[in-house]
Amino acid sequence: MKQIKKIAIIGGGGRTGQYIVNQLLEKGFYIRLLLRHPESFPLSNPHIEIIEGDVLDAEVVTSLVEDCEAVISTVGQRKGEPLVASVATENILRAIENQPSVSTSIRYILLAGLNIDTPFDRKSPDTQKATDWMKMTFPEIHADRQKSYLILQSSQVKWTLVRVPFIEFSEERSALKVSLEDCLGSKISAADIAGFMFVQLTDDTYIRKAPFIAGI
Protein backbone atom coordinates (compact mmCIF):
# COMPACT_ATOMS: atom_id res chain seq x y z
CA MET A 1 0.00 0.00 0.00
CA LYS A 2 1.16 3.53 -0.82
CA GLN A 3 2.95 5.24 2.05
CA ILE A 4 0.71 7.80 3.74
CA LYS A 5 2.28 11.12 4.71
CA LYS A 6 -0.51 13.70 4.46
CA ILE A 7 -4.11 13.17 5.56
CA ALA A 8 -7.15 15.35 4.90
CA ILE A 9 -9.40 15.59 7.96
CA ILE A 10 -13.05 16.66 7.90
CA GLY A 11 -14.73 17.15 11.26
CA GLY A 12 -11.39 17.57 13.03
CA GLY A 13 -12.71 20.48 15.04
CA GLY A 14 -15.46 18.33 16.56
CA ARG A 15 -15.32 16.38 19.78
CA THR A 16 -14.39 13.03 18.21
CA GLY A 17 -12.33 14.56 15.43
CA GLN A 18 -9.94 16.24 17.85
CA TYR A 19 -8.92 12.83 19.22
CA ILE A 20 -8.03 11.75 15.69
CA VAL A 21 -6.06 14.93 15.03
CA ASN A 22 -4.10 14.51 18.26
CA GLN A 23 -3.24 10.86 17.59
CA LEU A 24 -2.10 11.60 14.04
CA LEU A 25 0.09 14.47 15.22
CA GLU A 26 1.64 12.24 17.88
CA LYS A 27 2.59 9.80 15.10
CA GLY A 28 4.16 12.52 12.98
CA PHE A 29 1.64 12.83 10.17
CA TYR A 30 0.95 16.02 8.26
CA ILE A 31 -2.70 17.06 8.36
CA ARG A 32 -4.77 19.22 6.07
CA LEU A 33 -7.74 20.24 8.20
CA LEU A 34 -11.07 21.55 6.89
CA LEU A 35 -12.66 24.01 9.33
CA ARG A 36 -15.65 26.27 9.01
CA HIS A 37 -14.45 28.39 11.93
CA PRO A 38 -10.65 28.11 12.11
CA GLU A 39 -10.42 30.92 14.66
CA SER A 40 -12.01 28.65 17.28
CA PHE A 41 -9.69 25.68 16.72
CA PRO A 42 -7.50 25.29 19.83
CA LEU A 43 -4.42 23.63 18.30
CA SER A 44 -1.45 25.26 16.63
CA ASN A 45 1.07 22.90 15.08
CA PRO A 46 3.48 23.14 12.12
CA HIS A 47 2.13 19.78 10.89
CA ILE A 48 -1.38 21.26 10.46
CA GLU A 49 -2.49 23.12 7.35
CA ILE A 50 -5.93 24.65 7.76
CA ILE A 51 -8.37 25.03 4.87
CA GLU A 52 -11.28 27.31 5.70
CA GLY A 53 -14.59 26.17 4.26
CA ASP A 54 -17.48 23.71 4.34
CA VAL A 55 -17.64 20.08 3.27
CA LEU A 56 -20.84 20.98 1.39
CA ASP A 57 -18.70 23.08 -0.99
CA ALA A 58 -17.34 20.75 -3.67
CA GLU A 59 -14.56 23.12 -4.77
CA VAL A 60 -13.28 23.48 -1.21
CA VAL A 61 -13.27 19.70 -0.75
CA THR A 62 -11.31 19.25 -3.98
CA SER A 63 -8.69 21.69 -2.71
CA LEU A 64 -8.60 19.90 0.65
CA VAL A 65 -7.98 16.45 -0.82
CA GLU A 66 -5.33 17.49 -3.34
CA ASP A 67 -1.96 15.77 -2.71
CA CYS A 68 -3.32 13.82 0.29
CA GLU A 69 -3.00 10.03 0.49
CA ALA A 70 -5.99 9.55 2.79
CA VAL A 71 -9.19 11.25 3.93
CA ILE A 72 -10.79 10.83 7.36
CA SER A 73 -14.23 12.26 8.09
CA THR A 74 -16.10 12.46 11.39
CA VAL A 75 -18.47 15.18 10.24
CA GLY A 76 -21.90 14.96 11.81
CA GLN A 77 -25.28 16.52 11.22
CA ARG A 78 -25.46 20.14 12.35
CA LYS A 79 -28.58 21.12 14.25
CA GLY A 80 -30.94 23.25 12.20
CA GLU A 81 -28.76 23.12 9.08
CA PRO A 82 -29.03 21.34 5.70
CA LEU A 83 -28.42 17.59 5.60
CA VAL A 84 -24.71 16.81 5.45
CA ALA A 85 -23.92 13.11 5.12
CA SER A 86 -24.82 12.30 1.51
CA VAL A 87 -23.58 15.60 0.01
CA ALA A 88 -20.33 15.35 1.97
CA THR A 89 -19.84 11.79 0.77
CA GLU A 90 -20.47 12.75 -2.85
CA ASN A 91 -18.08 15.70 -2.63
CA ILE A 92 -15.31 13.67 -0.99
CA LEU A 93 -15.61 10.74 -3.39
CA ARG A 94 -15.58 13.07 -6.39
CA ALA A 95 -12.52 14.88 -5.04
CA ILE A 96 -10.71 11.57 -4.55
CA GLU A 97 -11.70 10.24 -7.97
CA ASN A 98 -10.45 13.43 -9.63
CA GLN A 99 -6.95 13.08 -8.22
CA PRO A 100 -4.60 12.23 -11.12
CA SER A 101 -3.39 8.62 -11.26
CA VAL A 102 -3.56 7.99 -7.49
CA SER A 103 -7.29 7.97 -6.79
CA THR A 104 -7.43 4.17 -6.52
CA SER A 105 -4.90 4.17 -3.67
CA ILE A 106 -6.40 6.99 -1.57
CA ARG A 107 -8.07 5.69 1.58
CA TYR A 108 -11.36 7.21 2.73
CA ILE A 109 -12.40 6.41 6.30
CA LEU A 110 -15.60 7.85 7.73
CA LEU A 111 -17.61 7.63 10.93
CA ALA A 112 -21.31 6.85 11.35
CA GLY A 113 -23.76 5.56 13.92
CA LEU A 114 -24.81 1.95 14.35
CA ASN A 115 -28.19 2.74 12.76
CA ILE A 116 -26.82 2.48 9.22
CA ASP A 117 -28.00 -0.76 7.59
CA THR A 118 -25.97 -2.91 5.20
CA PRO A 119 -26.92 -6.13 3.36
CA PHE A 120 -24.51 -8.05 5.62
CA ASP A 121 -26.12 -7.10 8.96
CA ARG A 122 -27.57 -9.49 11.48
CA LYS A 123 -28.44 -6.94 14.12
CA SER A 124 -29.28 -8.11 17.62
CA PRO A 125 -32.53 -6.90 19.27
CA ASP A 126 -30.60 -4.15 21.13
CA THR A 127 -28.88 -2.88 17.98
CA GLN A 128 -32.11 -3.06 16.01
CA LYS A 129 -33.92 -1.16 18.76
CA ALA A 130 -31.35 1.63 18.55
CA THR A 131 -31.64 1.63 14.76
CA ASP A 132 -35.43 1.83 14.87
CA TRP A 133 -35.29 4.67 17.42
CA MET A 134 -33.07 6.69 15.10
CA LYS A 135 -35.35 6.01 12.14
CA MET A 136 -38.42 7.17 14.06
CA THR A 137 -36.85 10.11 15.91
CA PHE A 138 -34.66 11.56 13.15
CA PRO A 139 -36.06 10.07 9.92
CA GLU A 140 -34.51 12.61 7.54
CA ILE A 141 -31.06 12.38 9.12
CA HIS A 142 -31.24 8.59 9.13
CA ALA A 143 -32.32 8.48 5.48
CA ASP A 144 -29.49 10.82 4.50
CA ARG A 145 -26.94 8.65 6.32
CA GLN A 146 -28.34 5.57 4.64
CA LYS A 147 -28.11 7.32 1.28
CA SER A 148 -24.43 8.03 1.94
CA TYR A 149 -23.81 4.28 2.33
CA LEU A 150 -25.46 3.60 -1.04
CA ILE A 151 -23.26 6.28 -2.61
CA LEU A 152 -20.17 4.62 -1.13
CA GLN A 153 -21.22 1.25 -2.53
CA SER A 154 -21.41 2.64 -6.06
CA SER A 155 -17.88 4.05 -5.97
CA GLN A 156 -14.52 2.35 -6.57
CA VAL A 157 -12.74 4.30 -3.81
CA LYS A 158 -11.10 2.35 -0.99
CA TRP A 159 -13.53 3.41 1.74
CA THR A 160 -14.27 2.08 5.21
CA LEU A 161 -17.43 3.13 7.05
CA VAL A 162 -16.88 2.78 10.81
CA ARG A 163 -20.14 2.30 12.74
CA VAL A 164 -20.15 3.07 16.46
CA PRO A 165 -22.50 3.05 19.48
CA PHE A 166 -22.63 5.73 22.21
CA ILE A 167 -19.36 7.70 22.30
CA GLU A 168 -17.63 8.49 25.59
CA PHE A 169 -15.25 11.42 25.20
CA SER A 170 -12.26 10.06 27.06
CA GLU A 171 -8.71 8.87 26.50
CA GLU A 172 -9.57 5.45 27.92
CA ARG A 173 -8.40 2.62 25.66
CA SER A 174 -9.58 -0.98 25.63
CA ALA A 175 -9.64 -4.02 23.42
CA LEU A 176 -12.30 -3.64 20.74
CA LYS A 177 -15.11 -5.87 19.58
CA VAL A 178 -15.32 -5.65 15.80
CA SER A 179 -18.04 -7.18 13.65
CA LEU A 180 -19.48 -6.75 10.17
CA GLU A 181 -22.89 -8.01 11.33
CA ASP A 182 -23.75 -6.45 14.70
CA CYS A 183 -22.63 -3.93 17.29
CA LEU A 184 -21.25 -6.04 20.14
CA GLY A 185 -21.24 -3.35 22.83
CA SER A 186 -23.15 -0.28 24.01
CA LYS A 187 -20.35 2.29 24.08
CA ILE A 188 -16.88 3.20 22.87
CA SER A 189 -14.32 5.86 23.78
CA ALA A 190 -13.37 8.58 21.33
CA ALA A 191 -9.73 7.55 21.76
CA ASP A 192 -10.59 4.00 20.66
CA ILE A 193 -12.43 5.31 17.61
CA ALA A 194 -9.39 7.37 16.67
CA GLY A 195 -7.09 4.39 17.16
CA PHE A 196 -9.22 2.11 15.00
CA MET A 197 -9.53 4.67 12.22
CA PHE A 198 -5.76 5.17 12.28
CA VAL A 199 -5.16 1.43 11.81
CA GLN A 200 -7.43 1.46 8.74
CA LEU A 201 -5.02 3.78 6.95
CA THR A 202 -2.69 0.84 6.26
CA ASP A 203 -4.94 -2.21 6.82
CA ASP A 204 -6.88 -3.74 3.91
CA THR A 205 -9.21 -5.85 6.09
CA TYR A 206 -12.21 -3.54 5.94
CA ILE A 207 -11.81 -1.90 2.54
CA ARG A 208 -15.29 -1.25 1.08
CA LYS A 209 -16.85 -2.61 4.28
CA ALA A 210 -18.73 -1.14 7.25
CA PRO A 211 -17.49 -2.65 10.53
CA PHE A 212 -19.18 -2.06 13.86
CA ILE A 213 -16.73 -1.34 16.68
CA ALA A 214 -17.40 -1.21 20.41
CA GLY A 215 -15.39 -1.22 23.62
CA ILE A 216 -15.12 -4.22 25.90
What confidence score (pLDDT) does residue 186 get?
96
Contacts by residues 164-169 (CB-CB < 8 Å, ≥ 24 positions apart): 164/111, 164/112, 164/113, 164/114, 164/188, 164/193, 164/212, 164/213, 164/214, 165/113, 165/114, 165/130, 165/212, 165/214, 167/15, 167/16, 167/193, 169/15, 169/16, 169/19
What confidence score (pLDDT) does residue 185 get?
96
What confidence score (pLDDT) does residue 103 get?
54
Gyration radius of the chain's alpha carbons: 16
What confidence score (pLDDT) does residue 137 get?
97
What confidence score (pLDDT) does residue 1 get?
45
Q: Distance between terminal CA atoms of the chain?
A: 30
What confidence score (pLDDT) does residue 100 get?
76
- Nearest to residue 68, comparing CAs of 126, 9, 142? 9
What confidence score (pLDDT) does residue 216 get?
84
pLDDT by residue, tens only, the chain of 216 residues: 457 889 999 999 999 999 999 999 999 999 999 999 999 888 889 999 999 999 999 999 999 999 999 999 999 998 889 999 999 999 999 999 998 755 568 999 999 999 999 999 999 999 999 999 999 999 999 999 999 999 999 999 999 999 999 999 999 999 999 999 999 999 999 999 999 999 999 999 999 999 999 998
